[in-house]
């Protein structure tokens, strides 16, 4: 069982916790000051620490910092009688695994300890699997080992030898711009890469953005402005969501592709196009052509080389590699130390249909990493994917609503458990106070206080 260190200056609480947790099978050590707790932590290397914030010698947050510095894997559950928002936020921000208010509700404490134990077990299991070094990734890698992805790699290699126009098709979130950037980096990495979303800009402004304008060509045009094609020089212009471009602008883009030159809005001078054009869409352009919503001549101009990116549900074999890559990226960006997901979550990921594709996977992992209390992401870290655990959520809601509400719901406090245990010992050994103290492991004055506290009539 897990080793638990309890650091609390209230001896009645530490004794009650020691009593209860020992009966649950945990190895328990207690300390009544921060200094004593830190010394015992160095000696026993606890798996879980139950830490009071208000201690007589050292502030609990200082103890938390030192504990995490000495043993970053220890799960620290902080307890306090104060219910202010700032303290809770600070505790979680500084690395606490969980945060519980006094008077301690035993059900809430059980939930926190069980979560900590489960997290520790998952981390050990993942560590055991990481015997071989993981593949080394760098920013901008396209992750995939399946046949469809290998074909994409081949296509990128071919088109990188020239400035051929490329059309990238795939569902939202599949990584179309990543493909465009890789093509650019393998062709003209020292030249500009300029991306523009055709659906995000109104038609009149999009024309000016693409081709630029001359001074006085329209209201507000106070000077000449070069467009994206001009600014890209010998690099790449990425036209995202090209299916949203108006038919009028499609005609002008067709002329650019045919003649490799254009005129600024309001201008007469011809400007040479030297950049490669990469277009992308999440729609079927051929269908749009048949519906009269996309020019057929532009479609055939764009469709010289086409890259079809498969959705994530059709390349499930790449999910483990993507997880590895994305978690490394998240750890770097968020300064986290997430080492993986539980086997349960991996099984769910492999079965999930991923309507949002790789973008959905990344967003889920980012959100999970932000709130995760351990180094292994489990099902409780993915409520958006799995739905909230209503049973546990109800217990947690009840657990923080105060002792009176707890009693109404049938939850037991530590005092309830302690009183029951004392009465059980008395019933078993009789009314010999010396023997009772020996069994309970407390002094005679402590026993007297507890008898008075619980209204146990002894004489």
Segments of the chain assigned to CATH 3.40.50.300: 147-312
CATH 3.40.50.2300 placement within the chain: 3-129
Fill in the DSSP letter of residue 225. Answer: E
- Region of 233 on the Ramachandran plot (φ > 0 left; ψ -120 to 50 alpha; else beta): left
- Interacting residues of 171 by C-beta distance below 8 A, sequence separation 6+: 282, 309, 311, 357
> Is residue 282 packed enough to be buried (19+ CB in 10 Å), middle (13-18) or exposed (0-12)?
middle
Helices 357-371 and 319-334: angle between axes, nearest 10 degrees? 50
CATH 3.40.50.2300 fits 3-129, yes or no: yes
As a CATH number, domain 315-381 is 1.10.8.60
Q: What is the pLDDT of residue 414?
A: 67
- The pLDDT value recorded for residue 168 is 96
CATH class name, domain 147-312: alpha beta
The alpha carbon of residue 313 and the mean position of all alpha carbons in its chain are separated, in whole angstroms, by 21
- Tell me the β-bridge partners of 4: 28, 48
d(CA 19, CA 22) in angstroms, rounded, equals 5
Distance separating alpha carbons of residues 236 and 166, to the nearest angstrom? 11
CATH 1.10.8.60 residue ranges of the chain are 315-381
What is the torsion angle, in degrees rounded to the nearest 10, for the CA atoms of residue 104, residue 109, residue 112 and residue 113? Answer: 130
Residue closest to 44 by CA, chosen among 14, 2, 10: 2
pLDDT recorded at residue 389: 40
Phi, psi (deg, nearest 5) at residue 349: -60, -40
Neighbours of 112 (CB within 10 A): 23
What distance in Å separates the CA atoms of residue 288 and residue 218, rounded to the nearest whole number?
32
Separation of alpha carbons 266 and 423, rounded Å: 94
Q: What is the pLDDT along the chain (459 residues), one digit of tens a residue?
A: 789 999 999 888 888 899 999 888 899 999 999 999 999 999 889 999 999 998 999 989 999 999 988 888 899 999 887 766 777 777 877 888 888 888 888 888 998 998 888 888 877 766 544 434 444 444 457 888 888 888 888 888 888 888 899 999 999 999 999 999 999 988 888 999 999 999 888 877 888 889 888 887 777 777 878 889 999 989 999 999 999 999 999 999 999 999 999 888 888 888 898 899 999 999 999 999 999 999 999 999 998 899 999 999 999 999 999 999 999 889 888 888 888 898 889 999 999 999 999 999 999 999 999 888 778 898 888 887 765 443 333 333 333 334 444 444 445 666 777 788 888 888 887 878 888 877 777 777 778 888 888 888 866
Rounded Cα–Cα distance for residues 279 and 243 (Å): 9
The interaxial angle of helices 60-70 and 85-93, nearest 10 deg, is 10
């Amino acid at each position: 069982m897990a080793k638990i260190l309890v650091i609390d200056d209230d001896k009645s609480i530490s004794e009650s916790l020691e009593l209860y947790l020992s009966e649950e099978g945990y190895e328990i050590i207690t300390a009544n000051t921060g200094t004593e707790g830190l010394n015992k932590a160095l000696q026993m290397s606890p798996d879980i620490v139950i830490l009071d914030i208000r201690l007589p010698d050292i502030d609990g947050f200082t103890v938390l910092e030192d504990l995490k510095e000495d043993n970053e894997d220890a799960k620290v559950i902080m307890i306090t009688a104060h219910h202010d928002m700032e303290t809770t936020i600070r505790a979680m921000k500084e690395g606490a695994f969980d945060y519980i208010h006094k008077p301690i509700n035993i059900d809430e404490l059980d939930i926190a300890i069980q979560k900590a134990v489960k997290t520790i077990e998952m981390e050990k299991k993942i560590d055991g699997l990481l015997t071989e070094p993981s593949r080394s990734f760098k920013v901008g890698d396209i992750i995939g080992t399946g046949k469809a992805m290998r074909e994409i790699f081949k296509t990128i290699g071919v088109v990188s030898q020239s400035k051929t126009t490329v059309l990238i098709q795939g569902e939202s979130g599949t990584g179309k711009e990543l493909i465009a950037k890789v093509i650019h980096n393998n062709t003209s990495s020292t030249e500009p890469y300029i991306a523009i979303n055709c659906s995000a800009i109104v038609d009149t402004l999009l024309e000016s953005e693409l081709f630029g304008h001359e001074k006085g060509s329209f209201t507000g045009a106070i000077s000449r402005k070069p467009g994206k094609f001009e600014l890209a020089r010998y690099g790449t212009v990425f036209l995202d969501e090209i299916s949203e471009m108006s038919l009028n602008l499609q005609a002008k883009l067709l002329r650019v592709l045919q003649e490799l030159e254009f005129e600024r809005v309001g201008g007469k001078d011809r400007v040479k196009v030297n950049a490669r054009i990469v277009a992308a869409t999440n729609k079927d352009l051929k269908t749009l052509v048949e519906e009269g919503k996309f020019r057929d001549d532009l479609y055939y101009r764009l469709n010289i080389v086409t890259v079809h990116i498969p959705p994530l549900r059709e390349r499930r074999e790449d999910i483990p590699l993507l997880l590895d890559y994305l978690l490394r990226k998240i750890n770097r960006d968020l300064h986290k130390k997430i080492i993986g997901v539980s086997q349960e979550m991996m099984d769910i990921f492999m079965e999930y249909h991923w309507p949002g594709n790789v973008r959905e996977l990344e967003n889920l992992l980012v959100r999970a990493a932000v709130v995760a209390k351990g180094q292994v992401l489990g099902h409780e870290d993915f409520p958006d994917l799995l739905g909230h655990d209503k049973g546990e959520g109800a217990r947690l809601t009840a657990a923080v609503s105060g002792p009176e509400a707890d009693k109404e719901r049938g939850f037991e406090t530590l005092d309830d458990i302690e009183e029951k245990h004392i009465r059980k010992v008395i019933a078993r050994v009789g009314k010999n106070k010396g023997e009772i103290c020996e069994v309970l492991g407390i002094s005679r004055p402590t026993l007297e206080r507890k008898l008075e506290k619980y209204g146990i009539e002894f004489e």
